Amino acid sequence: MKKFKMCIIFICICAMIFGLAGCVQRPDDDSEIPERTVLGFSQLGYESEWRTALSNDIRRAAARAGVQLMFDNARQQQFNQLRAIRSFILKGADVIAFTPIVEDGWDNILEEARMAGIPVIIVDRKIETENEELFTAFIGSDFHSQGVKAGEFMVERFAYVEGPIRVAEISGMPNSSPAIGRAAGLREALAEHPNFDIVISVSGDFMRSKGREVMETILREMPDIDILFAHNDDMALGAIEALEEHGIIPGEDIIIVSVDAQRSGLEALQQGKINCLIECSPHIGDKLMTLVFNIVNGEPFDRYTYTETRVFIHMDNEQDDET
């Protein structure tokens, strides 16, 4: 009996040793810990509901995929992003991803990543670069087409109005790709409709507080506008606060179009305070993780991945999904 017990204990100890050998590195052999892929992610800031949704989406997707995430928030400063990316390089991340706050000024850091052999994925916003080979892939939205869709809604909505139809624009952060793309797309869509006139365009930096502030300026300088195009929901919501304080009914006295279609924007659409929302999806975390794995494992991947953009229109308290 004693022998039998000893035998069981011996078998258990062996099982433990061999079981653990698969996942613990031991000094006397070269069995490896199965390594987790490390992704360094530099988020540009937390200026909007959209940005928070993107950060949450990426955190959740990384956890689901078992990716080890090094997350840094640059609090709206490009130099903080550069610093974060450099630290990811030094820490030997497998892949680096970042949301470029502005289009320019990335070539040197991308060159540093290339020299270290670390692939870089551009997320959400685009960059201007001398050498497109400096980054491995892009995943985000088509901002130009969002501006075009905003313009197309305006043209349809004012189809029988002779004009002039006066449009005010609250644009996003200067030199950022969504601000550049949305502004250009809007102008392209209105180009063949001379009855539309973009009478004022001011930046609200994608922030609700600034949207409100800038709307005050617009009301002072150009009180007689028909349409407000805000480059994101947060600025539209700030502008709506200012309009209501002035006794102007948003969605009726002034037609409001904005981009993102996040929760507060959708609520305002339902209430008829926003007339049209152009969707910009922040739910790209899972696609990003797939991209990371494909790159790390040398599998084929799409160099450019774009999210879908739907159009939501307020119609007598009904929400219409047009696509």
Residue whose CB is less far from ligand GYE, 37 or 176: 176
Q: Which residue has the tokens 């102007």?
A: 248
Task: Quote the strand ranges of the chain, DSSP E.
Answer: 38-43, 68-73, 95-98, 120-124, 137-140, 165-171, 196-203, 227-230, 255-260, 276-279, 304-306, 311-315, 318-321
| Interface region with ligand GYE, contact rule CB under 6 A, candidates 45-53, 86-94, 152-160, 306-314 | 45-53
Q: Residue 280 CB, nearest distance to ligand GYE (Å)?
A: 5
Contact call for residues 257 and 228 (beta carbons, < 8 A): yes
Task: Quote the strand ranges of 176-272, DSSP E.
Answer: 196-203, 227-230, 255-260
Contact call for residues 178 and 231 (beta carbons, < 8 A): yes
Of 219, 306, 312, 260, the closest CA to residue 52 belongs to: 260
Residue whose CB is less far from ligand GYE, 226 or 231: 231
Site string for ligand GYE, 177-206 (x = CB under 6 A): -x---------------------------x
Binding to ligand GYE by residue 125, rule CB under 6 A?
yes
Collapsing DSSP to helix, strand or coil, 91 comes out as coil
| Cα–Cα distance list, 90 to 38, 44, 85, 121, 136 (Å) | 13, 20, 9, 17, 19
Binding to ligand GYE by residue 281, rule CB under 6 A?
no
Exposed e or buried b per residue across 174-190, where buried means at least 16 C-beta atoms within 10 angstroms of its C-beta: eebbbbbbbbebbbebb
Binding to ligand GYE by residue 312, rule CB under 6 A?
no
Site string for ligand GYE, 215-254 (x = CB under 6 A): -----------------x----------------------
Q: Residue 242 CB, nearest distance to ligand GYE (Å)?
A: 18
Cα distance between residue 58 and residue 1, in whole Å:
57
Q: Which residue has the tokens 């004022």?
A: 200
Site string for ligand GYE, 161-180 (x = CB under 6 A): -----------------x--
Residue whose CB is less far from ligand GYE, 178 or 285: 178
Residue whose CB is less far from ligand GYE, 49 or 226: 49
What six digits make up the tokens of 110? 């991308």
Cα distance between residue 182 and residue 231, in whole Å:
7
Binding to ligand GYE by residue 280, rule CB under 6 A?
yes
Site string for ligand GYE, 4-43 (x = CB under 6 A): ----------------------------------------
Contact call for residues 61 and 93 (beta carbons, < 8 A): no
Over its C-alpha atoms, the chain yields an Rg (Å, rounded) of: 25
Exposed e or buried b per residue across 244-257, where buried means at least 16 C-beta atoms within 10 angstroms of its C-beta: eeeebebbeebbbb
Q: Residue 259 CB, nearest distance to ligand GYE (Å)?
A: 6
Q: Residue 94 CB, nearest distance to ligand GYE (Å)?
A: 25
- Give the residue, chosen from 259, 284, 288, 295, that forms a contact with ligand GYE under the rule CB under 6 A: 259
Binding to ligand GYE by residue 124, rule CB under 6 A?
yes
Binding to ligand GYE by residue 208, rule CB under 6 A?
no
Q: Residue 30 CB, nearest distance to ligand GYE (Å)?
A: 46
Residue whose CB is less far from ligand GYE, 68 or 145: 145
Residue ranges in contact with ligand GYE by CB under 6 A: 47-48, 50-51, 124-125, 141, 178, 206, 232, 259-260, 280
